[in-house]
Structure 1
Amino acid sequence: MKYFLLILIALPTVEIAVLLFTGRTIGFWPTLALMISTGVIGAYLAKQQGLETLRKAQEQMRYGQVPGSALLDGICVLVGGTLLLTPGFVSDLFGLFLLLPPTRKIIKPLLLKLLRNMIDKGNITIIR
């Protein structure tokens, strides 16, 4: 959380620089079309992956299991879909990374470790 302000300033700056570079390289209209198409593709992928994650969570609950893995998938899909809908190519890259199941397998252990650290430090409280 201590790097939040740095990310809040740096990420939009990088996004604008990449958009300007892309606009100069391929032109304004192709850049705009590419941005719109990534938003549409992102919405489609987020819906598809979100429904698949929901189906997996329901199946796990039907068999009496806690849908922990499906919940982590759901978090990744939600954040990834939001990033793909946000204008900019850097956020689209991160969003795509979170939406695709093979790359999501890389992120889930890191996310689980982060959540466990936050719980151990008392930043997140679990009520049972």
Structure 2
Amino acid sequence: MKNMFAYWAVYGLVELIVYVWLFQWIGFWPLLLIQILSTAFGIYMFRKVGGTLLRNILDGRTVAPYLLDTVCFFFSALFFTIPGILTTLIGLLLFIPFVRRLIKPKLTKWFAKQSKQSNPYYFDM
């Protein structure tokens, strides 16, 4: 629990430093516009991707490679809705196909490990 508090404290400090730096560099209104647009885009993505992903998982459908892209887009939407420049950048990174190709094997291993502990799903990569 102490580690979790330390991670959030470090994240908050880094985010504050980035905000101050960007405030000095581009100003208040562009920074506010970036945050509003990223949150609006994240909410839009949740509406488009989130419902489909949740229905597929609840119906017990296979999490195949094309659905792993949907999982990446879901996390991207989550990072977009969390206020912060760093989370917005992480959300943008999840759009890049090269980054998703690096993440897909890790997601597959994590889903496979979760499936051994609970419901048996078939994961194909």
CA distance in 2, matches of 1:108, 1:2: 30
* TM-score normalised per structure 2: 0.67
Identity between Structure 1 and Structure 2 (%) = 29
Q: CA deviation at 1:94?
A: 1.2
SS at match of 1:67: coil
CA distance in 2, matches of 1:11, 1:76: 21
CA distance in 2, matches of 1:2, 1:108: 30
* TM-score normalised per structure 1: 0.66
Unmatched tracts of structure 2, length 5 or more:
121-125
Q: What is the match of residue 123 of structure 2?
A: none
Mapped contact 1:46–1:80 kept (Cα < 8 A): no
- Deviation by residue 1:16-58 (Cα, 9 ceiling, x = unmatched): 1111110111111111111111111222234334466579x49
Q: CA deviation at 1:72?
A: 3.8
Q: What is the match of residue 37 of structure 2?
A: 37
Q: Which amino acid in 1 is paired with 2:43? A: A
Report matched runs for 1:1-128 at 5 Å. Answer: 4-50=4-50, 53=53, 57=56, 66-69=61-64, 72-98=68-94, 100=95, 102=97, 103-116=99-112, 118-119=113-114, 125-127=117-119
CA distance in 2, matches of 1:35, 1:119: 34
Give the CA RMSD over aligned residues. Answer: 3.6
Q: CA deviation at 1:74?
A: 4.5
